[in-house]
Each structure stands twice: as C-alpha cells, then as structure tokens.
Amino acid sequence: MGNLLLLGQLLWHMAPLLHVSGAISEKILTPGNVSAVENSNVTLQCHLSVTNAIVSQVNWNQCNRVTIAVYLNKEKATVQPAFTEKVSLAAEYGITIHFLRVNDTGDYCCEFHTFPYGIYQGRMFLEVTETSEEKNVWKNFLYIIIGLVLGVFLLVCFTVWICRRKKQTQKIQVPPHVLEKVSSRSPGKECSSPNPTTCYSARANMASTSNVGDQEECDDGHNYFNILQDKGHRSRSTVVQVG
C-alpha cells in the first residue's frame, strides 16, 4: 500500500515533464520568420496558449547558446550585461532589439516555465537585410567605377589619334632643299610638284625676285634721264654767256 502511494506521488510530480514531451510547439505561438532592415528595431514576442498555467519564469536566448533576458514575472525582469545597450524589455514577455545589424540574423527562442505543466519553448528566425540606401550607394559606386574606366579608355584612344595625326603632318612637310630647287626655276614654267604648298612657295619667291628686278630697272632709267637733263641744262647756260 505504501509503495502504491509513493508511486502515485511520483507520477503526479512527473506529470509536467510528461506533458512537455508531447506537443510543446502547439502551446507557444510565435511569428515564425521575422524580417527587418538594418539599423531598425524589431520586437520579438511569444504567447502561451495554455490559459490555466501559472508562469513562473520566461527566458530569452539564442536557442540555448546565449541567454539574452530573464523574466521572473511581468513586472520584474533583467537583461544580461552583454545586451544592455542592444536589447530592451517589451510588453507580454517580449524583447526589442535595437540598431539591427546583418550579424543579428539567426534563431531566437523563448522558454516559458509554468506550473504545473513544466517548460514550453517557442522558436523563431530573424532575418536582417541591408537597407535600400546602402544598396543604392553600392550601385552608384559601381557606376562611377565603370564611368572612370570608360573615360580612361576614351582618353587613351584620343591620345593615340592625336599622335598619329602629328606623324602624318610631319610626313607631308617638304624639306628645305626641295623648296630651294623649286624657287630656282624660271617663271614661265608651271609647277609640277604634287604639293600645293611647294608650288605656292616657289611662285612667291619668283614674284619677289621679279619685283626686285623691275625696281632696279626703273631706278636705272630714272637716273639716266636725270643725267641727260642735267647735261642739256649746262649746255644752254654756256650759250647764253657767250652771246
């Protein structure tokens, strides 16, 4: 009789553990997957669906890896020192994570310690994505890099084109000894050089030589006329004196 009584008491104390080994996930309501953008805040909450259970403690952790916060009841709770600047308490046993970073992505678990049913655990996944502004910055940076590469390429092409043009211009220029030979030709002959610049230079030299020659001839004729006039004047003066 005593053994049966002892066995009954043992089963009564083990009833919460047997209940926990059943459908635990059906007793905790969670949002499942949560998405948030970087530098924002997000609140994580779990709700116990067992209405007649007495909650004695609620723990938040990164799924049995690191403890984040502990609720002794709704009015009394503590945040672990490593998360005091990152996490704050929220209503209904929840927690709020501030200034999210991409490395905050991961699994978060809540554990409800109840009487007389034992421990219920809920699980959710938080995904933190980059902000659209940061994505736009990376896109603009990529466009700038592409623009710089194209600009350098066009500058190189333009420089090569200028160098080739200079070389072609140097090839067209006529050497000085060719110009001297052309300038020594007679004025009546036509220029047979294919280069218009050479012909023009030769014609200019010939025109200058002709002008100088004409000027010299005019000067010689004028001087000769002056000498004759002076001699005639002297002859008339002598005749007048003799009479």
Q: Are residues 168 and 211 in the same domain?
A: no
Residues 18 and 124 placed together within one structural domain of the fold: yes
Closest CA to 80 of 90, 65, 91, 70: 70
Range of the domain at 75: 9-130
Q: What is the pLDDT of residues 73-123, one digit of tens each?
A: 888 999 999 999 999 999 999 999 999 999 999 999 999 999 999 999 999
Boundary residue ending a domain (130, 159, 183): 130
Does a structural domain hold residue 241? no
How far does CA 189 lie from the centroid of its chain? 68
Whether 99 and 69 map to the same domain: the answer is yes
Query: Which of 130, 162, 189 is the last residue before a domain boundary?
Result: 130
| Domain final residue, candidates 105, 130, 155 | 130
Residue 72 lies in a domain: yes
H or E element: which one contains 151? Answer: helix 132-172
Both 114 and 52 in one domain: the answer is yes
Q: What mean pLDDT is predicted for residues 194-204?
A: 51
Place 195 in a pLDDT band, splitting at 50, 70 and 90: low
**Range from 9-13, 67-71, 162-166, 194-198 carrying the lowest mean pLDDT:** 9-13
Mean pLDDT across 178-190: 55
Same domain, 84 and 159: no
Q: Which of 17-26, 28-37, 46-55, 157-166 has the lowest mean pLDDT?
A: 17-26
* Same domain assignment for residues 13 and 122: yes
Cα 64 from Cα 108, distance rounded (Å): 9
Q: Is residue 48 scored above 60 in pLDDT?
A: yes
State the pTM of this model: 0.48
141 with 121, same domain? no
pLDDT for 18:
40
More confident residue, 232 or 148: 148
Please give the pLDDT value at position 161.
87
Q: Are residues 49 and 95 in the same domain?
A: yes
Q: Which residue has the higher pLDDT, 229 or 128?
A: 128
125/16 same-domain check: yes
Asked whether residue 126 falls in the same domain as residue 204, the answer is no
pLDDT in tens, 135-149: 666 677 788 999 899
- The single-letter code of the amino acid at 226 is N
Name the percent of the chain lying above pLDDT 70: 56
Judge if 17 and 90 occupy the same domain.
Answer: yes
Asked if the structure places residue 237 within a domain, the reply is: no
State whether 143 and 160 are in the same domain. Answer: yes
d(C-alpha 184, C-alpha 99), whole Å: 92
Q: Are 57 and 113 in contact, with CB atoms under 8 Å apart?
A: yes
Confidence of residue 218 (pLDDT cuts 50, 70, 90): very low
Number of independent structural domains in the chain: 3
Average per-residue pLDDT for the chain: 74
Distance CA 109, CA 63 (A): 5
